[in-house]
Structure 1
Amino acid sequence: MLDHQGPSLLEPARAFDRLRERAWSLPEVSKNRPVHVSMKTHRDVGRLRRRDAYQAVRGAVATCLGRRDFRIVHVSIQANHIHALAEAHDKYALANGMRAFMISATRRLNALRGRKGQVFIQRYHAVQIGSPLQARNALAYVLNNWRRHREDLDGRAQRRANVDPYSTGILFDGWKVDGRPYTFGIPPGYEPMLVHAPRSWLLTVGWRDRGLIDVRETPGPIAGPARRMATCSPRP
């Protein structure tokens, strides 16, 4: 695991230079190997599984749509942390893309909560995915993470839901229900996350060799060897 001090937004030019310098020491990233990223928030940011916080994170995800070398393809918002699956052309694209997302999310969530300072606790953690099994497990872990935290039992609306409304699960085309492939429709009034479609072989074709994901599957830790890296979140 590699730890790096994140750049300050008060010094954008020097911060960018430092970001690139530190990226040299990060493990290499390949556009063919997606990355599972997790980010934890400070306690005083409050619960993220609320409609207003969802819209704030949704807006931050949308700011990354114009990037050609970095794609967020799935997102899951939990009470105090966020999971994402991303594809990046190299380690610089990953560092810059995550920096852009976290800066935008920090500004939006701070404005929402009427607070200042850091939103994310120091680091984001990134795990590169290198096999169909890891890809399948990562998809299940991210999209069904709410079941791992028993959020599917919290509130009447969520108990009626088969897919996490605070994730991109409704856009996923690899679900199964009662052993059969199933695709969810988008209900009226619901605004899904604005994400890219995956392009890597692992997230489009490879993972399917390991079986579709049951909508009620409760995921465990991601299986298989993984290479982990960490960088600090940028300060507002």
Structure 2
Amino acid sequence: MMRGSRQLRFRLPPPRTHGGRRAGAGRKPKGARAGVSHHGRPAVTASTPAHVTLRVLPHVWNLRSQRSLRVVEAALEAAAAACAAFRVVHFALEGNHLHLLVEADGQRALSSGMQGLCIRLAKGLNRMMGRRGKVFADRYHARVLGTPSEVRNALAYVLLNHRSHLARLGKPAGRGGVDRFSSGRWFDGWRGGGPGVPDGARRVTAAPRTWLLRTGWRRGSTGSPRAARGPISLDEVPPAVGG
């Protein structure tokens, strides 16, 4: 009786595949600085505002200029007219990034609203610079604000962001004033009433609808040993907020 022949075994390389977990897989960051996690967005609801940060690439001109301000205000005004489910209530410009306080009727509204706003900002800034291509360094970072104290801290940080930057650089912040590269002129929560809105100045941001951004923030505090509550002083130097 003949014995069956033994089958030879060959070592073959693993098949190439586009699926599964592997080193180097996944979406790559848009810039050298990948500061935003790609592991999903925080849960945004119709009753919780969010603090959003957008960082531009190094080639983008200084955002704290009158020409950049005009581009940003035009984009905000167009975004407000395009979608009622997504609202930018406050903003502040720094040299290479901008801060937004936004409201959205849910996660989908936040995502679509930010996508539309980023497209408008990118087109406007590229048109201003006479160039094409990417403008933002990475996806936006959003931090949901769920308590009066979180909202008060975020309001102070965004509207007085220039003072916070000076303090971190070790420079004197001096006497406070409304930052002209922010929406502070429309804020009605300044201690002592604030400077008021200039005659004829059109509002490019939306009025707040959430309780937290309308009145609830006045119940919050900074959480510091000498906690500030209620209206925000123009002389405050807000600490950096988390997220």
TM-score by length of 1: 0.75
Deviation at 1:83, TM superposition (A): 0.2
Provide, for residues 44-91 of structure 1, a one-character-per-residue CA deviation record: whole Å limited to 9, x for no partner.
112111111000000110111121211110010111100000000111
2:179 is the alignment partner of 1:164 = yes
2:154 is the alignment partner of 1:123 = no
TM-score by length of 2: 0.73
Counterpart in 2 of 1:61?
Answer: 76
Counterpart in 1 of 2:171?
Answer: none
Deviation at 1:161, TM superposition (A): 7.2
Counterpart of 1:58 in structure 2: which amino acid? E
Provide the rounded CA distance (Å) in 1 between the counterparts of 2:114 and 2:91: 13
Say which structure, 1 or 2, has more relative contact order (CA 8 Å, 6+ apart).
1
Contact between 1:170 and 1:192, CA under 8 Å: does it hold in 2? no
2:231 is the alignment partner of 1:215 = no
RMSD after superposition: 2.5
Provide the rounded CA distance (Å) in 2 between the counterparts of 1:137 and 1:143: 10
Deviation at 1:92, TM superposition (A): 0.5
Unaligned runs of 5+ in 2: 1-25, 29-39, 168-173, 221-229
- 26, 29, 42: which is aligned to 2:57? 42
Deviation at 1:110, TM superposition (A): 0.4
Provide the rounded CA distance (Å) in 2 between the counterparts of 1:93 and 1:188: 33
- 187, 190, 197: which is aligned to 1:186? 197
In structure 2, relative to structure 1, the CA distance for the partners of 1:5 and 1:170 (3 Å cut) is farther
Unaligned runs of 5+ in 1: 7-24, 152-158, 229-236
Provide the rounded CA distance (Å) in 1 between the counterparts of 2:77 and 2:135: 18
Counterpart in 2 of 1:198?
Answer: 208
Larger Rg: 2
Secondary structure at 2:69's aligned position in 1? helix
| Richer in helix (by share) | 1
Equivalences for 1:1-236 in 2 at 5 Å? Answer: 26-66=41-81, 67-150=83-166, 162-176=177-191, 181-187=192-198, 191=201, 193-210=203-220, 211-222=230-241
Secondary structure at 2:142's aligned position in 1? strand
Identify which range, 49-58 or 160-169, moves more after superposition. Answer: 160-169
Provide the rounded CA distance (Å) in 1 between the counterparts of 2:85 and 2:120: 18
Contact between 2:43 and 2:144, CA under 8 Å: does it hold in 1? no
Deviation at 1:183, TM superposition (A): 2.9
Contact between 1:48 and 1:79, CA under 8 Å: does it hold in 2? yes
Provide, for residues 124-178 of structure 1, a one-character-per-residue CA deviation record: whole Å limited to 9, x for no partner.
1000000000000000010000111239xxxxxxx897100000001101111xx
* Count of matched residue positions in the alignment of Structure 1 and Structure 2: 193
Contact between 2:42 and 2:144, CA under 8 Å: does it hold in 1? no
Deviation at 1:222, TM superposition (A): 2.1
Identity %: 39
Provide the rounded CA distance (Å) in 2 between the counterparts of 1:113 and 1:31: 36
Contact between 1:168 and 1:192, CA under 8 Å: does it hold in 2? no
Provide the rounded CA distance (Å) in 2 between the counterparts of 1:81 and 1:192: 24
Deviation at 1:28, TM superposition (A): 2.6
Provide, for residues 183-225 of structure 1, a one-character-per-residue CA deviation record: whole Å limited to 9, x for no partner.
3223468x465011101011111111132111121111226xx
Secondary structure at 1:217's aligned position in 2? coil
Provide the rounded CA distance (Å) in 1 between the counterparts of 2:175 and 2:202: 18
Provide the rounded CA distance (Å) in 1 between the counterparts of 2:238 and 2:27: 31
Contact between 2:60 and 2:135, CA under 8 Å: does it hold in 1? yes
Contact between 1:42 and 1:121, CA under 8 Å: does it hold in 2? yes
Counterpart of 2:133 in structure 1: which amino acid? G
